[in-house]
Amino acid sequence: MSGTAPGIGDITGKRLLIVGASRGIGLAIATRAAQLGAMVHLTARSAQAAAGTAAALAATAGAQVTGHGLDIAAADATARLDAVLQATGDLDALIYNAGVSPVYARPEHITDAAFDQIMTVNLRGPFLAARAFGARCLTQGRPGAIVFIASVASLIGTPRVAAYSASKAGVLGLTRSLAVDWATDGIRINAVAPGWVATDMTQGLQDNRHLHDSLTARVPMGRFAQPDEIADVALFLASDSARYVTGSVYSVDGGLLAG
């Protein structure tokens, strides 16, 4: 399968680097991209997980997929990113999905270590990846697209996730600033802000019937999103169909912010 799908621009032959793609939303993005004929380079913290995911996608989608180990929280993350970019060669788009799940606690109970870990992966990581990708685009004189996976928690006050919300709000600031800095260089930067998504990260919420029902009651569409519904928007933003879109945040939340 290649070409376009409803709501997605043509990404056939596009060379994508998806950071954090061994499960959940990242895996859905990689799967959808491979099905539509993109050349997919994906990362996971474990090189073994990345290689296994890439092999499975290549077999099922009949696409070119490579896997790379990348621990974005490592002290030498910049060097590791450079190694991945060297291995992938030329790229058209970067999609940053790697993230640490929220620590569900009142602010006074969030430890320094937990706060630092969330900020390192959820905010420092996107900056490092965007800086490395953007620098290559500038050196090569070629356009590019960057898509960050943020969260509606960056847009509304959400109890017991102060560190997570702050990290994702930082991603929105990064999105807008980079978009202005690189607009004339042909590098577009946008973000997707999902609401509740049915992934392993939210499995505990889904399994708790009372909590699940109270959360979906706030969503006009009355359900969690499926990962592929987030993937479709991310891939649209990575495609040429979004060539005049930059500095934007797309909420994919079933109407949560509107309700």
**Rounded CA separation 36/38 (Å):** 6
Q: What is the pLDDT of residues 153-204, one digit of tens each?
A: 999 998 889 999 999 999 999 999 999 999 999 999 999 999 999 887 777 7
Q: Say if CB 7 and CB 236 are below 8 A apart.
A: yes
Give the pLDDT mean for 206-225.
Answer: 88
Catalytic positions are 164
Nearest to 122 by CA among 159, 73, 162, 83: 73
> pLDDT tens digits, residue range 18-63?
999 999 999 999 999 999 999 999 999 999 999 999 999 999 998 8
Domains and CATH numbers, the chain: 15-252 (3.40.50.720)
Task: Give Cα separations from 178 to 35, 173, 181 (angstroms).
Answer: 30, 9, 5
Cα 191 from Cα 186, distance rounded (Å): 17
CA 106 remoteness from chain centre: 26
Residue of 55, 68, 163 lying closest to 118 (CA atoms) = 163
Percent of residues, the chain, with pLDDT higher than 70: 97
Q: Tokens representing 131?
A: 């800086």
Four-point Cα dihedral 123, 148, 57, 82, nearest 10: -60
